[in-house]
Amino acid sequence: MFIVRTVILWIIISTVINAYLMTLPIPVLRKRNYPANYLILQNNRIDFQNNTECAAFSTAYLLRHFGMEAEGEALYTDFPSKTRAGNVYPKGIRKVLRRKGFQTNYYKGNINTLKYEVSKGTPVIVFIKVQKNRNNLHFVPVVGYDKKNIYLSESLRHLVNCDDANNSYNRKVPINEFKKLWNIKRIHMPLYSNTYITVDAT
């Protein structure tokens, strides 16, 4: 009984801490209609990070999508919600975008809800693992999908796996592989698998 109480208390404390540091994602499961294939074709530059600046590089990509010139390195210098190791919580991305006049939402969904959001025409920032068998986490914009793949604008040069002569994406991930990367659940953060940040101009 003591062990059960301790585990429950640990989960509650972790959830409260995570809610403060990262904000809680809103669960979304409702199925909506969306095209079978979709790719955001708006020209955008894909820059490459050198360290742990993926939150800033993803945010800069979104800002450029809306016509605001931005560079990941410059944004990262004063990025909010940064840990001592230099990583950034989802809350930091939302703060920067709100300061720039955008409305953001942090959702927990599935492949269907993610595709629906992308089909609105704005890149969606997902929270995934760098590699499926490692715990390092990564933010990256999703810019398209089809029945088999998710298309990303990847800021980690070593993960780039395609150059289809366009400025929208540089990484293609089979949906089954993407689901493994998207499963970031850990004992101290059980609620953050399948999460993503959406952005709307206000």
Name which of 141, 103, 106, 145 is nearest 124 in CA terms: 141
The more confident residue out of 81 and 172 is 172
Q: What are phi and psi of 82, to 5 degrees?
A: -100, 140
Residue 20 has pLDDT above 50, yes or no: no
Residue 17 has pLDDT above 80, yes or no: no
Single-letter amino acid, residue 23: T
Do residues 142 and 152 lie in contact, with contact meaning Cβ atoms separated by under 8 Å?
yes
The more confident residue out of 151 and 84 is 151
Q: What is the mean pLDDT of residues 44-59?
A: 94
Please state the pTM of the whole predicted model: 0.88
- How far apart, in whole angstroms, are the C-alpha atoms of residue 197 and residue 142? 10
Q: Which domains does the chain have, with CATH numbers?
A: 1-200 (3.90.70.10)
- How far apart, in whole angstroms, are the C-alpha atoms of residue 138 and residue 156? 9
Least confident of 20-29, 78-87, 149-158: 20-29
Do residues 104 and 111 lie in contact, with contact meaning Cβ atoms separated by under 8 Å?
no
Residue-wise pLDDT for 159-191, tens only, equals 999 876 666 899 999 999 999 999 987 655 667
- How far apart, in whole angstroms, are the C-alpha atoms of residue 93 and residue 153? 16
